[in-house]
Amino acid sequence: MNKRLYFFVFALLPMGLCAQSSYTLKTCIEYGLKNNRTNVVYENEKKAADAKAKEALAEYLPKIGVTATLDNNLKVQESIIPAGVFGPEDIRVAFSQKYNTNGLVQLDQTIFDQSILVGLKANKYNKQQADLNIKQNQETIIYNISNAYYQIYVYREQLALLRENLQTYLKQIDISALQVKKGVTLKKDLDKVTVDYNNALSQIRVAESNLILAQNQLKYEMGYPISEQLAVDSISQQDVLPQVANTTQNPDFTVINRTDYQLSEVNARLLEIDQSRLKSGWLPKLSAYAKYGANGFGNTLGPAVKELNSYSAVGLKLNIPLFDFFKRNAQYNQAKYKSINAVENMKVDAGKYELEYENAKTKLIKAQSSLENDQRNIVLAQSVFTVTDLQYKKGVETLTEWLNAQSAIQDAQNTYLNSLYSFLQAKLDLEKAAGSLKTFYTSL
């Protein structure tokens, strides 16, 4: 009787889950795209890229600096006027006094610096890189949430099958117990069925534990509080497999659809710009300046501060690099080979991504075929068990044959569950390889 109560509790558990379910795969992904903590990281990286663009632009904007100094010449420096200039002997002269103050305001404006102009072109690609990083993070969120969601689906399927098996064993225990009571069969037959019943209970506990772990993983990927209850929509094979099948039409492969390839393109362009920037460093730089200042001198601090002499100037400054050729040439060559390697790596990646796509497509086809075959095997195993069960009740088959037939059903179920998860995983891998995870999400 206790065993019946135990089974009844297990049977009610999924009904309770179904009653409070609300999150579908699509709504789980929607929640994750808004609440996953990695979103904050990549949004901050985008803001950093915007700030970097402003920093680069600032190199061509006017710069104003203010400096002020106060010197206490503990010992005033003296200069020598040689003999014969103003008299027959050398004359010692101090061109400063004990206290010296100086204040200066200077404005500098770059007029021409080709390296800065070239560097400004990188702003566009830095922003693209930040946007692509956000897109790649969103694809990762979609993939991880879908994977965790499908794990929950598979474990629920497993629990449903295990509970069906448990009910079958429970019925047989009642029959065997009655037969033992009447002396028709030996107690060892009852013990055999009880052993399999207890094994089924243990498998249910493991599956329930795995289901909780999968639910926690889904919460983590969504950015959902782990301590709170997450009501995941109760899905069945009739719901999820047609949904997945609708999106298993093999997407056309174009390497440019891969976000990681797009990032490689942006990186290659940035390396080209860096190469051009270093090359532009050989060109002259022209800037203008305007300054206004005042200085004061005195043997005491008062006159040095109050009695100031102002001065001002405007001018142009031309800087022509002459003797840093070897250093700059080495830097340029490094940038050149990095740029060449970036282009070559893109060609390597294009081949690798195409290989990933073809392998993922092959795995999906094989996984779908295996799933269909394993579904048929469950039907066949159940058919064999139905006949064996009828023959056992008529006394034609032994309990051992009955247990073997039920064990065959369990083996077929386990193989089916593995094929089911492999199929769902292969679908996600194909979408990832094709660069179409966001399309997969929007089509749910």
b/e per residue 98-116 (b: at least 16 CB within 10 A): bbbbbbbeeeeebeebbbb
Percent of the chain whose predicted confidence (pLDDT) is above 90:
49
Q: Is the pLDDT of residue 358 over 80?
A: yes
285-315 residue pLDDT tens: 899 999 999 988 888 888 878 888 889 999 9
Helices and strands: H and E segment counts in the chain: 12, 6
Question: With a threshold of 0.95, does the pTM exceed it?
Answer: no
The arithmetic mean of pLDDT across residues 419-436, rounded, is: 92
H or E, element range at 333: helix 325-393
Q: 443 vs 86, which has greater pLDDT?
A: 443
CB-CB contact of 332 with 409 (8 Å): no
**Residue found under tokens 């009910």:** 167
What confidence category does residue 118 fall into, taking pLDDT thresholds of 50, 70 and 90? confident
182-205 residue pLDDT tens: 887 888 888 998 999 999 999 999
Q: Is the pLDDT of residue 81 over 80?
A: no
pLDDT of residue 15: 41
Q: Is the pLDDT of residue 342 over 70?
A: yes
The arithmetic mean of pLDDT across residues 3-31, rounded, is: 58
pLDDT of residue 260: 93
Spatial distance between the Cα atoms of 398 and 273, rounded to a whole number of angstroms: 81
The arithmetic mean of pLDDT across residues 20-28, rounded, is: 78
Q: Is the pLDDT of residue 410 over 70?
A: yes
The domain 2-60+113-284+320-442 is classified under which CATH number: 3.40.50.20, 3.40.309.10, 1.20.1600.10, 1.25.40.10? 1.20.1600.10
The arithmetic mean of pLDDT across residues 81-87, rounded, is: 73
3-state secondary structure of 396: coil
3-state secondary structure of 296: strand
The arithmetic mean of pLDDT across residues 244-257, rounded, is: 69
Could you tell me which of 100, 40, 122, 167 has the C-alpha nearest to residue 304?
A: 100
